[in-house]
Amino acid sequence: MQLRIRLFLVLVPFWLLIFNSCSNSKPETGFYFWKTVFQLDTVEHRALKEVDAKSIYIRIMDIDFDPSGVQAVPISPITFSQPVPKEQALIPVVFINQRIFSEMDSLQIRALANKIVPFVSTKIKQAGKEKFNELQLDCDWTQSSRDKFFYLLNYLQELPDLKDIIISSTLRLHQVKNTVTSGIPPVKKVTLMCYNMGNLRQFGNQNSILNQQDLKAYLGGTLRNYPMQMDIALPLFHWFVVFRNNSYIGISKYISEQDINNKALFKRNPKSNLYILITDLPKANLKKGDVVRFEQVTQDDLLQTAKFLRGELKGKKHQIIFYHLDQATLANHGNAELQEIIRAF
């Protein structure tokens, strides 16, 4: 009996150690690449290496209406100026504007699928890769476009050229919470986009990229019940949302952080992320009195998000994908910070 007790006391810490080491293993990581020319600089290469990224999810093209508004066509397809690093798998991503489905029947959807596959395959070869293991479709489907988008997903999985390929779909927060109206995509794997969750067009000092209140409202108690493998996409980007007379007029690509911190150009509304333009800014086509809301994601935002999701996922296998691989974006999120976020999962 004493021998059994001593053996028990020896083995329990051993198995606890093994259990903890397994449960604390970090998830795999990847990056989205969302530009029209693939060419990595030193900063981007270093991020891939130091974060130990296994995959790069590369936007191959958008699919939207042509100028006539009749036919769905590729928009801004990517060009590869250099090969994708051999250390990372290339996951092609096709963004589909859900409005195209309003004009399509099942025959046209099948025709679209048969155009997507060779187009993607050609781009894979241009990227210096022999094959791909996953094809992701990015579509913010609604109740009216859901059935046709799901038909496209099902049809792609029946094509001989994709028989060994995982078809995955992106997933927005509202689609997790409202499965009755949104439905569940007929795929084996989804990527939850944990950003763009607030009302972008509403005037005020909120953060529409990422905020904990909306995150918990959409996902609290619902995420753990979602019936498939789920990867997590986290935002690293920032943007400048512009209002005129308190009405949304767009996101400006012509304003920098240096601009909004220039007191000769902007006056900041105290204790908020709103900046009032005090003179015309022709390069951005803005006028005196316009208001810019500078939205960004802090390290604390991302750590809180990681800890919340870890609790909701309850040990489900997942990959962390950062959006996106870009020198300007990475300038605000060092590699050590990204590693800290990964460990928080």
Flag whether pLDDT at 23 surpasses 50.
Answer: no
Give the model's confidence band at 216: pLDDT under 50 very low, under 70 low, under 90 confident, else very high: very high
Flag whether pLDDT at 20 surpasses 70.
Answer: no
pLDDT of residue 69: 81
pLDDT of residue 12: 46
- Cα separation, 318 vs 192, in Å, equals 10
With CA atoms as reference, report the closest residue to 92 among 58, 128, 125, 130: 58
Beta partners for residue 202, in sequence order: none
Tell me the average pLDDT across 91-115: 96
Q: Which two tokens stand for residue 186?
A: 């007929």
φ, ψ at 283 (rounded to 5°) = -65, -25
Least confident of 10-19, 61-70, 280-289: 10-19
- Cα separation, 174 vs 186, in Å, equals 17
Q: pLDDT tens digit string along 252-262? A: 999 999 999 99
pLDDT of residue 1: 53
pLDDT of residue 4: 55
DSSP letter at 280 equals -
Least confident of 64-73, 131-140, 201-210, 272-281: 64-73
Sorted by sequence, the CB contacts under 8 Å of residue 328 that are 6+ apart come out as: none
Q: pLDDT tens digit string along 158-204? A: 999 999 999 999 999 999 999 999 999 999 999 999 999 989 999 99
Task: Count the helix, strand and coil residues of the chain and give each as a percent rounded to the nearest 5.
Answer: 40, 25, 35
With CA atoms as reference, report the closest residue to 139 among 179, 112, 102, 171: 171
The DSSP line for 306-318 is: HHHHHHHHTT---
- Cα separation, 88 vs 325, in Å, equals 13
Flag whether pLDDT at 45 surpasses 90.
Answer: yes
Burial, 192: exposed, middle or buried (Cβ in 10 Å; 0-12, 13-18, 19+)? Answer: buried
- Cα separation, 279 vs 264, in Å, equals 8
> Can you give the residue ranges of every domain in the chain?
27-237+296-344, 239-295
Give the model's confidence band at 2: pLDDT under 50 very low, under 70 low, under 90 confident, else very high: low
Q: Are 234 and 221 contacting, i.e. CB atoms less than 8 angstroms apart?
A: no
Q: Which two tokens stand for residue 301?
A: 């935002």
Beta partners for residue 250, in sequence order: 242
Q: Alpha carbon of 155 to those of 59, 80, 161, 188, 326: distances in Å? A: 21, 28, 12, 14, 34
Give the model's confidence band at 299: pLDDT under 50 very low, under 70 low, under 90 confident, else very high: very high
Beta partners for residue 292, in sequence order: 242, 275
Give the model's confidence band at 68: pLDDT under 50 very low, under 70 low, under 90 confident, else very high: confident
Strand order in the sheet with 239-244: 247-252, 239-244, 291-295, 274-277, 266-268
**What amino acid occupies position 319?**
Q
Flag whether pLDDT at 115 surpasses 60.
Answer: yes
CB atoms within 10 A of CB 28: 16
Flag whether pLDDT at 11 surpasses 70.
Answer: no
DSSP letter at 238 equals -
pTM value surpassing 0.75: yes
Q: How are beta strands 72-75 and 53-65 bridged, if at all? A: antiparallel
Instruction: Indicate the SS3 state at residue 327.
Output: helix
CATH number attached to the domain at 27-237+296-344: 3.20.20.80
Sorted by sequence, the CB contacts under 8 Å of residue 113 that are 6+ apart come out as: 152, 155, 156, 159
Q: Are 80 and 96 contacting, i.e. CB atoms less than 8 angstroms apart?
A: no
